[in-house]
Structure 1
Amino acid sequence: MLAHSHLRRTGLGLAILLPLAAGAFFWSQPRSQAHPSPAATDTAATATLERRDLSTSKTISGTIGYGTPHAVEGHKEATVTWLPAPGASIKRGQQLYRADDRPVPLFYGEMPLYRAIEGKGLVGRDVRIIADNLEELGYSLGYRPRAGEWVSPPAVPSRPESSAPPASSAPVPPPTPVRLRKGEAVLTTGLIKAINRWQRDVGLPETGAIAVGDVEVLSGAVRVEAVAVQPGAPANGPLMSVTSTRKVITVAATMAEAASMAEAASMEQGAAVTVILPDEKEVPAHVLSMGRTLAAPEGSIGDSTAQLTVTVTVDDPATLKKIDSAEVTVSFAGKVSEDVLAAPIEALIALAEGGYAVQTPQGLVAVTTGMFAQGWVEITGDGLTEGTHVVVAS
C-alpha cells in the first residue's frame, strides 16, 4: 500500500489530487449503503481493467494513382506505324503498337522472349509463355506434356550443301531426349497449329513460329501513361511508358519509417494495412510491392531525406472507382501485445518517488507499465486482475 505517497499526475492530462487522509475521496455505492457527508457528495469516475490486444500503428501520407510508370521497349527491326493514345488500356492479345503496319500484340509473362519460338520439340519457359497465352485466348493446343516427362528437342538443322561434311564423316546422332522441368513447355505439333491459327486471326504471316519482337511480354494488362516516339521511329527502342490498369496508393516512406514497420512485419509484400480516404472512410488494403532503392522525393532540390516507394492496393477496387487522384493516409500496424491486462491511460498516477500506480478500492497499487496504444496502457501489479475498478481522471 502506498497511501502516504506524495502524488502528482503526469503531463497526460492526469492532474487530480487524492487527499486520501482527509477522506475527500469516495467510491460509488448504492444509496441504501452509502451515507456521504454533506461536504463530500461527489464520487470519482472509475473504469475497469480489461484483457485486450494492444497494437501501435504508423500513419504515412499516400497518393491514389496508377503507380510508377515503366518504360516499354520494342524488339523488332521495323518502323513504328501506330501507337496507342495516353490513357488507353491494353489487355492480353490486343495490339500494343504496330510495326511495318502489322500488330505487335501484348502477351502476359514474367520474362521477355529472347529467341525465336520455332522447331518442333523446342523446350523452355519462353515456350510456356506462348502456350499459356494462346490457351487463355481460346486456342486449343492439344496434348501438353507435363513436368517430368521426357521429350525430344528439335533435330539439328541440316547444313547447306556448300558446307556439307565429307562423305566419310560419321552421321549426326539424333538429339538426346530431355526431361521437362516445372514451368517449361514443349513446342508440340498442336501448339504450332495454334500459332498458325492465331497468326491468321490477327493478320500476321502464318509461319507457325514467333520471332523476337513479334509480341511484347509484360506482367499483365497495362495503361499507357505516355508515348516516347512518333510513328516513323525505329521499333527497336523505347516506345512508351505504362502503368498498371488498377488504381493503387503510392507511399513514400523514410528509411526510419520503413525500418520501424519492417520490424513489425507490416511493411512487406502482402502485409495488411488500412487506408483512410479523404472522407475519413477506412478501407482494408494490403502492400502490393516494396521499392528496392532509396530515392530523393520527386521535385526536391538539394539535400533531401531519401525515401522508399511502397505500393498499396485496396482489397475492393470498386472503392476507388470514382476517385481519379487524391491524397490519403495509410496506417501500417506496429508492434502488438496480445491478451494483456490494460488500463485507460487516465488511470495512471505518477508517484513522487518515481514510477506509476493506480487507485483501487483497496488503495494505491504500484504498477509496471508496458505498451501504450489506443488510449490504453499495459500494466502489471499485485492483486490486479481483469474487472478490477480503478479511478480515472475526469
Structure 2
Amino acid sequence: MPELAAGGAGDDGESGEEASGGGRRRRPLRTSLIVLAAIAVAAAAGIAATGSLGGDSGGSSNAAPSGPPATAKVQRTTLTDSETVDGNLGFGDASTVQAPAAASGDTGAGQSGQSGQSGQNGQSGQGGASGAGTSTGTITWLPEAGKVIRRGDPVYRVDQQQVPLLYGSFPLYRTLADGTKGADVKMLEKNLRALGYTGFTVDDTYTSDTAAAVKQWQDDLNRTETGTVKPGDALVADGARRVADIKTSTGAALSGNLLTWTGTSRIVSVDLDVQFEDLVQKGTKATVKLPDNSTVEAEVTDIGTPTTAQGSSGDSGSSGSSGDNNSSNSNNNQVTLPVELTVKDQKGLGRYQAAAVNVTLKAESHKDVLVVPVNALVAKRGGGYAVEVVTADGTKLVPVKLGMFADSKVEVSGTGIKEGSVVGVPK
C-alpha cells in the first residue's frame, strides 16, 4: 500500500490554509478539518492504490471494477467561513443617573457629569453630577422601568418641576445666561430649536433672544422663568434613553443614584473566545438565531479589549487557598473578546427584551466556487489531495487544489473538475 499524506500540500495540491489567502491567521479548526478528511478517506485511498477504483491498476486484469459506496455532485456555490457562538440579546450596559451636585455660585460645581460607562450600543450615559454634595428638593415623580425618554421628556421631577432630557455630547457644566459664549450655548439652542422654540439664532452666543426662548421653555416645564439655565436643570445624553431600573422613590430627597438607563435599540453582546478573533472586524455580518428559531441579520459594530474572566471554581474549599488551588483557579481564567452586534431589523426581534441567542459569524465568503464534501477528499501519495471522479468506465482519481473549508464542504479546483461531476464519498 502506498504511503498516504495526512494533510500536506503536494506538487498539485494545496492545503486549505494556503488556498484561503488574504493573510488571515487560520484557526486550529482548519487543520483539524484537513486531518479529519485524510483519516476519513484513508481506506478509500488504499483501495485506489490497489487499482480497484479504476486508477493506476496494480491488481489482476480480471478484477472487476467497483464503484464508491456513496457519491455526491460537484456543486457551484458561495462558501462562507463562519462560526456559531453564544450571545445575549439586550439593551447593552446600563449607566447611572445621579442627583446633581449642590450648586456653588456660577463655578460649575453642580455640573451634570457623566454617570457610569457608555452603553454598548453607542449611547452615552450622561446623567446627574458625579461630584460630592446633593441638591435640595424632593423627588415628586419618577418614570417606570422600560420607559423610553426622548428629547424634551422629563427624566424626573423635583418639587413638581420637570428635569428634561436634552441631546448632546457633553453635560451642562456652568450657568448659561445673556452674554455667555461657547459650544454648550450652541448645544442648548439646537435643542430649543428642535423642541419648536424660535426667535433666536442658533450659534455659540447666548443673547436676550435666547433668554426669551428659555423663559418660554421653563414655563412649559412648570419651572421658574429665569431666562438662565443652570447645571442640573436638564440632563444630557446623545440620544433617546430607556429606563432600566429605578434606584430611589418619590418622596425621597434629591440625592445619590436616581435611576439607570440604556440605549433604546436592542443589541447582541458576545464574549468571544480569542481563538475566533480573526472572524470579527467592524462590519462583519452575522445571523442571530432567537429562542423561537427565527433569525435576524446583524453586523459587528464594536470590538472591545480582550479581558480575562475568572472561571467558576466549583468546590473551592476554604478561603485559605494553597498554592495548588491558586494554580487550579488560574487555569480557570478564560480570555474573551467583547463584541457588540447591531440589529437593524428591530421588529424581527419580536417581543424579546433579553434572551440567550446563537450568533453565526460570517467572516469570509468565496463566491461562485466549486465545492465537494470534505470527506470526498483522498490523500495522495507524496502529499496533496484528489477526488474520485465517477466516469462511464468506472472511477479515476483527479488531483485538486483546496480552498476554503466551511459547512463540511471544501472549495476545490483543478483540471477535470467541473460543476455536476460525480465524485465518490467513502463511508
TM-score with structure 1 setting the length: 0.71
Q: Which amino acid aligns with 2:371?
A: A
Shift of 1:106: 1.2
Distance 2:174 2:369 in 1: 60
Task: Give secondary structure in 2 for the equivalent of 1:312.
Answer: strand
Aligned to 2:271: 252
Aligned to 1:172: none
Aligned to 1:64: 89
Whether 1:144 and 2:211 are equivalent positions in the alignment is no
Q: Name which of 279, 282, 288 aligns with 1:261.
A: 279
Name the CA shift for 1:368/1:237 in 2 (closer, same or farther; >3 Å): same
Task: Give secondary structure in 1 for the equivalent of 2:298.
Answer: strand
Q: Name which of 86, 90, 94 aligns with 2:145.
A: 86
Shift of 1:393: 1.0
Whether 1:351 and 2:380 are equivalent positions in the alignment is yes
Shift of 1:239: 2.0
Report Cα offsets for 1:291-334 as digits up to 9, x if no partner.
45736379888553243433323221112232233211111122
Q: Which amino acid aligns with 1:94?
A: D
Q: Name which of 178, 181, 187 aligns with 1:129.
A: 187
Task: Give secondary structure in 2 for the equivalent of 1:87.
Answer: coil
Whether the aligned pair in 2 keeps the contact of 1:199 and 1:205 (CA below 8 Å) is: yes
Task: Give secondary structure in 2 for the equivalent of 1:63.
Answer: strand
Name the CA shift for 1:84/1:295 in 2 (closer, same or farther; >3 Å): farther
Q: List gaps (5 residues or longer) in structure 1.
A: 27-36, 146-184
- Counterpart mapping for 1:101-112 below 5 A: 101-112=160-171
Shift of 1:341: 4.4
Aligned to 1:33: none
Whether the aligned pair in 1 keeps the contact of 2:387 and 2:400 (CA below 8 Å) is: yes
RMSD: 3.6
Shift of 1:274: 1.1
Report Cα offsets for 1:370-389 as digits up to 9, x if no partner.
321123213343x2454372
Distance 2:152 2:255 in 1: 20
- Counterpart mapping for 1:304-319 below 5 A: 304-319=333-348
Distance 2:174 2:215 in 1: 18
Whether 1:294 and 2:307 are equivalent positions in the alignment is yes
- Counterpart mapping for 1:1-394 below 5 A: 10-12=38-40, 16=44, 18=47, 47-50=72-75, 52-76=77-101, 77-82=135-140, 83-120=142-179, 122-124=181-183, 126-145=184-203, 185-231=204-250, 235=254, 237-257=256-276, 259-262=277-280, 265=281, 268=282, 270-292=283-305, 294=307, 296=309, 303=330, 304-360=333-389, 361=391, 363-381=396-414, 383-387=415-419, 389-393=421-425
Shift of 1:232: 5.9
Shift of 1:71: 1.1
Distance 1:237 1:289 in 2: 31
Aligned to 2:111: none
Shift of 1:244: 2.2
Q: List gaps (5 residues or longer) in structure 2.
A: 6-36, 56-61, 102-134, 315-328
Whether the aligned pair in 2 keeps the contact of 1:341 and 1:379 (CA below 8 Å) is: yes
Distance 2:175 2:147 in 1: 29
Name the CA shift for 1:5/1:390 in 2 (closer, same or farther; >3 Å): farther
Shift of 1:193: 2.5
Shift of 1:352: 4.4
Q: How many residues align?
A: 333
Q: Which amino acid aligns with 1:364?
A: L
Shift of 1:137: 1.9
Task: Give secondary structure in 2 for the equivalent of 1:318.
Answer: helix
Name the one with the larger helix percent: 2
Q: Which amino acid aligns with 1:370?
A: G
Name the CA shift for 1:131/1:392 in 2 (closer, same or farther; >3 Å): farther
Q: Which amino acid aligns with 1:373?
A: A
Task: Give secondary structure in 2 for the equivalent of 1:75.
Answer: coil
Task: Give secondary structure in 1 for the equivalent of 2:216.
Answer: helix
Task: Give secondary structure in 1 for the equivalent of 2:155.
Answer: strand
Task: Give secondary structure in 1 for the equivalent of 2:383.
Answer: coil
Report Cα offsets for 1:248-280 as digits up to 9, x if no partner.
2222223343x3234xx2xx3x54321011232
Shift of 1:128: 2.9
Shift of 1:215: 0.2
Shift of 1:201: 0.6
Q: Which amino acid aligns with 2:423?
A: V
Indicate the percent of aligned positions where both proteins have the same amino acid: 32
Name the CA shift for 1:144/1:393 in 2 (closer, same or farther; >3 Å): same
Distance 2:301 2:49 in 1: 57
Task: Give secondary structure in 1 for the equivalent of 2:341.
Answer: strand
Distance 1:144 1:346 in 2: 68
TM-score with structure 2 setting the length: 0.66
Task: Give secondary structure in 1 for the equivalent of 2:334.
Answer: coil
Distance 2:217 2:311 in 1: 44
Distance 1:297 1:62 in 2: 19
Q: Which amino acid aligns with 1:281?
A: S
Distance 2:49 2:274 in 1: 50
Name the one with the larger strand percent: 1
Q: Which has the larger radius of gyration?
A: 1
